[in-house]
Amino acid sequence: MNYSKSLFLLFFLSINFLVYGQKKYSHYVNPFIGSSNFGTTNPGANLPHGLMNITPFNVMGSELNSFDKDKRWWSAPYTSDNKFCTGFSHVNLSGVGCPDLGSILLMPTAGELEVDYHKYGSIMSKEKARPGYYSTYLDNHGIKAEVTATMRTALSAFTYSKGGKANILLNLGEGLTNESGATVKFINDSTITGSKLMGTFCYNPQAVFRQYFAMRIDRKALARGYWKKQRLMEGVEAEWDQDHGKYKVYRDYTKDMSGDDIGVWFSFDVKPGETLYVQTAVSFVSEANALKNLHEEQQTEHVDRPFFTQLVEKAEKRWDETLGIIEVEGGTDEEKTIFYTALYHLLIHPNILNDVNGEYPQMESLKTGKRNHDRYTVYSLWDTYRNVHPLLCIIYPKRQLDMVNTMLDMYRESGWLPKWELYGRETLTMEGDPSISVINDTYQRGLRDFDTALAYEAMKKGADTPGKENKMRPDNDDYLSLGYVPIRGKYDNSVSHALEYYIADWNLSCFASALGHKKDAKKYLAQSLRYKKYYDKEFGTLRPVLPDGKFLTPFNPLDGQNFEPCPGFHEGTAWNYTFFVPHDIKGLTKLMGGKKKFVQKLQLVFDKGYYDPANEPDIAYPYLFTYFPDEAWRTQKITRELLKQHFHNAPTGIPGNDDTGTMSAWAVFTMMGFYPDCPGNTEYALTLPIFSKITIHLDKKYYANDKLIITVDPKLRESGKYFNGYKISSTGKVYNNTYRIDHSLLMNAKELIFF
């Protein structure tokens, strides 16, 4: 009898496991969301935090594209607004505002060999994408193109609808980077290796690096060789095409080829319906490591359709496991698509940098490093310190710790914490000293498996080093001597700089206090409160201040709209920055004349349309009402309106640049009902969740419970009213008229019930 019961229980648990394992969270993801409206995402194939991303490249080369083809100003390799494809680029950035990478362009063609991308490019149609897979049809050539990815490699399948001559091209001259130099060599009949010069992100000349690659085709070519673009020189060869120069094709493939604007071609004869498979791998250490990555992650030279399908299925499974860390119930399919696509987008960066053997390029060095944790890259920290890293602390604490340890390794190697790091180079893009906030926030949320003494040393270096020597705070001399950054040039972003220093110093104060450095904690706290110098009662906003302490005149708090440059502020107006003092909302309230005036002024930002949902300084504004319980209903109302207005299941479905997942993280938090409105402060502001039930699976190595469940009382959902309190199931305690909750209380709640 007991034996039978045991068998039944085992069968029941097995069925449950199979049902859970079959959940396809990836099927809710629409990779085309954000690929228009300057979202700068792409629908290419990748894995969570994977180094490889392979995507169609369609932002140059044809009058069909809506931009000047001779100016590389696109910051993404793909936009859903254009349909002229010139190849598939390997390793790309998602949701960034400046161009880089988007290179190593692989392109299949049919017919006679043509190496001018203006001519071999093709109209693309029948696009399909899901996590780990993308396909399209290249109309001009009659080719179905499909791609999938592993962590460091890609596999492309090009199926020719018609028989005859076929070509595989690898263009190493074009892309989003400002660099065009490359080198390539044949290893054997079907394999090549090489490297491509990348960098100058946001036009910073110091951020240059090499991307190494290996490429292997599944069969021997009938012919193969190089090409090189011959650039037009004034007064010479006047018959050349004035726009494109001309291309010289080489059939001698016994030598290496190096230079600007080079490429490699392979030619074949194919039968109708035949598929050519191309394996590619990348490394930022060496060509040899690229080959190792290819061998370890694909493990075969004999590629066929079953093998391609197997890689697609593995990629989908990996995404299902990763996205399934959060399960949502209730809500519409549309809302689930928005939610899981946002979660998908924020899990793209930072991405892995180390090769399969653990090697990676050291920060600001030609040396190679090797550590016992994963090495990450693409630290868009001015964006992600606000919400991406706090979310990773909850859903993937081990990865977040690896990211913090990576940041400390960067300090060991270069002498500085990262600001906006890209493949081992510091781009010095955007404002402030954001690593401090990330490290302290991680520590305050209970993740402390890193060298805190080294972290404190690195933080203090950023805070205390004089301005001329300070990579993080170039105006630190004024900041430390005056307590603020005065405006010394028309567009020097002085107020924006200072506000970022204030929040960094507040985080440093918290970290110093936690480590027992009481004197330092007091000093940095005092520095963080000097923002008050910028508050102007006349306009009721922050206002640039001159070196003599007087306000800048004339002044218009609306200057800077639509990302226009303006005195004192970067990518925003005074209204976008005035409430960006998240560490001292009570002090700012007093400065503005009390709660009533603070709330009126904050509400005016939304009523007048001053709020910018696509930029970071005011991203937490909707949640600031929760500091005043009788006004917290505004947060619930505004967040619901913003979600409906700016997040959609469409290419335009992100309000603007995704900023490596920051806009998406805002949506994920908001749809779950809580938000970290002050990095480093472990309190979350609460709003009404979109879904009736949310289950967050927790890592028991870092949290006491294996899951956190968030539910909404059915009566509340049916009524359409606002919540006015919550209950914690683990203690049974009820919190009436409460709209904020601490991280530790939430993580230990087992279930949080909104009523």
Beta-carbon count within 10 A of 407 CB: 24
How far apart, in whole angstroms, are the C-alpha atoms of residue 393 and residue 294? 31
- At 62, the pLDDT band (50, 70, 90 cuts) reads low
User: What pLDDT is attached to residue 250?
Assistant: 83
User: What pLDDT is attached to residue 660?
Assistant: 97
- Mean pLDDT for 412-416 is 98
Q: Which of 59-63, 324-328, 458-462 has the lowest mean pLDDT?
A: 59-63
Domain ranges (residues) in the chain = 35-321, 325-748
Spell out the residues 6+ positions from residue 643 whose beta carbon is closer than 8 angstroms to its own.
338, 667, 670, 671, 690
Q: In this model, does residue 197 exceed pLDDT 50?
A: yes
Q: What burial class does residue 112 get, using C-beta atoms within 10 Å of its C-beta: 0-12 exposed, 13-18 middle, 19+ buried?
A: exposed
User: What pLDDT is attached to residue 718?
Assistant: 76
User: What pLDDT is attached to residue 207?
Assistant: 84
Per the rule left: phi > 0, alpha: psi between -120 and 50, beta: everything else, 705 is beta
- At 2, the pLDDT band (50, 70, 90 cuts) reads very low
Q: Quick one: three-class SS letters along 446-499?
A: CCCCCCHHHHHHHHHHHHHCCHHHCCCCCCHHHHHHHCCCCCCCCCCCHHHHHH
Of the chain, the percentage scoring pLDDT greater than 90 comes to: 86
- At 15, the pLDDT band (50, 70, 90 cuts) reads very low
SS3 (DSSP) at 554: coil
* Domain boundaries 35-321, corresponding CATH code: 2.70.98.10
Q: What is the pLDDT of residues 478-503, one digit of tens each?
A: 999 999 999 998 889 999 999 999 99
Q: In this model, does residue 66 exceed pLDDT 60?
A: no
The more confident residue out of 285 and 615 is 285
- Mean pLDDT for 82-107 is 95
Cis peptide before 554 (omega within 30 of 0): yes
- Give the residues across from 193 on adjacent strands: 185, 214
- Mean pLDDT for 550-573 is 94
User: What pLDDT is attached to residue 242?
Assistant: 42
Q: Where are the alpha helices (DSSP H) in 101-256?
A: 117-120
The CATH class of 325-748 is mainly alpha
Q: In this model, does residue 13 exceed pLDDT 90?
A: no
User: What pLDDT is attached to residue 239?
Assistant: 40
Q: In this model, does residue 429 exceed pLDDT 90?
A: yes
How far apart, in whole angstroms, are the C-alpha atoms of residue 196 and residue 170? 12
User: What pLDDT is attached to residue 253?
Assistant: 64
| Average pLDDT of the chain, as a whole number | 92
- Mean pLDDT for 294-306 is 95
User: What pLDDT is attached to residue 4?
Assistant: 41
Given a contact cutoff of 8 angstroms between Cβ atoms, the answer to whether 107 and 87 are in contact is: yes
- At 232, the pLDDT band (50, 70, 90 cuts) reads low
Q: What is the pLDDT of residues 725-749, one digit of tens each?
A: 999 999 999 999 999 999 999 999 9
- Give the residues across from 740 on adjacent strands: 685
Q: In this model, does residue 241 exceed pLDDT 90?
A: no
Q: In this model, does residue 240 exceed pLDDT 60?
A: no
Q: What is the pLDDT of residues 23-49, one digit of tens each?
A: 799 999 999 999 999 999 999 999 999
- At 111, the pLDDT band (50, 70, 90 cuts) reads very high
Q: What is the pLDDT of residues 607-617, one digit of tens each?
A: 999 999 998 99
User: What pLDDT is attached to residue 245?
Assistant: 58
pTM to 2 decimal places: 0.94
Q: What is the pLDDT of residues 138-166, one digit of tens each?
A: 999 999 999 999 999 999 999 999 999 99
